[in-house]
Amino acid sequence: MSYLLKTRRESTQQKAASSEEQQRKIYEVRELLGELPTEMPGFLTDGTIRRFLRARKWSTEQATKVLKEAVKWRRQFKPDKICWDDLAGWENEARRAYIPDYVDKNGRTVVVIKTSIKSITKAKEQIKHLVYNLENIAMDSEDAQEDNVVWMCDFRGWTLSSTPLREARESLYIIQNYYPGLVAAAILSNPPRIFESFWKILKHFIEPTLNEKVKFVYTNNSESQRILADMFDLDKVESAFGGRNTDDLDIIKYAERMRRRDQIRGARMPANCNTSS
């Protein structure tokens, strides 16, 4: 549980002593990548390289290997060019998975997933929406010295058809291999008993370091509520997770916020986002 409650100050103090070593490894990875940083300067920043190194336990060889795979994937998928208005069925899909306007007590970005809301798009479009969100939280984590994202997953009403295994595996692969070093904690809220069998299968596709960050919480459990209260301002957290926020997502305001974020990403990475579409 301690990793969930660790303060940013504590983490910064732990990292400070090795900052010079980190920078040396970043430089070494840049050398190993050859001309790739020139091809994708917006992606292969020091922040991204640091994140991949952190996820691969500061192994320059392993980080370089995964970065090369990510570059190859990005050439084909072009995730940095996905904008809000490119997303199919965004009115519904955003209610299933969105980035709220609050952070946890350590300033970490939050992603909310509501598995009981049925998707109205094909699997390919669902993955596109996932990648869009990952691009946004990666932008928020550019200068972070530690894993900087808390996933909040509401499993009330979950059924076996809510999350097909194939799509779950693909999503995990993308998160772990193309966006590593982001997830600080994953809160699985109120999973039904039937989820246990699904989880036993899914765990085989989750890296040990990520699996350690998964925490099951229940709104009727006092210990779970204490953990959430230590992590969040409960006035901001959705009631589905035991918070006191009963407001529904305002999809119009959310769309406006995401379009502004598209412009910010476009400013950092010229010609990426066509916000007029």
Please state which of the four CATH numbers 3.40.50.800, 3.10.129.10, 3.40.525.10, 3.30.1950.10 is assigned to the domain occupying 80-268.
Answer: 3.40.525.10
pLDDT value for 7:
43
Regions of the chain where pLDDT drops below 50: 1-3, 5-17, 267-270, 275-277
**Six token digits for residue 91:** 């009115």
Predicted structure pTM score: 0.88
Domain ranges (residues) in the chain: 18-77, 80-268
| pLDDT per residue as tens digits for the range 181-221 | 999 999 999 999 889 889 999 999 999 999 999 999 999 89
pLDDT value for 12:
42
The CATH class for the domain spanning 18-77 reads mainly alpha
Q: How far, in Å, CA of 23 to CA of 88, rounded?
A: 40
pLDDT value for 27:
96
CB 187 within 8 A of CB 224: no
- Give me the residue label for tokens 């009403």: 157
| pLDDT per residue as tens digits for the range 155-169 | 998 887 777 888 999
pLDDT value for 266:
81
pLDDT value for 150:
97
3-state secondary structure 144-213: CCCCCEEEEEECCCCCCCCCCHHHHHHHHHHHHHHCCCCEEEEEEECCCCCHHHHHHHHHHHCCHHHHCC
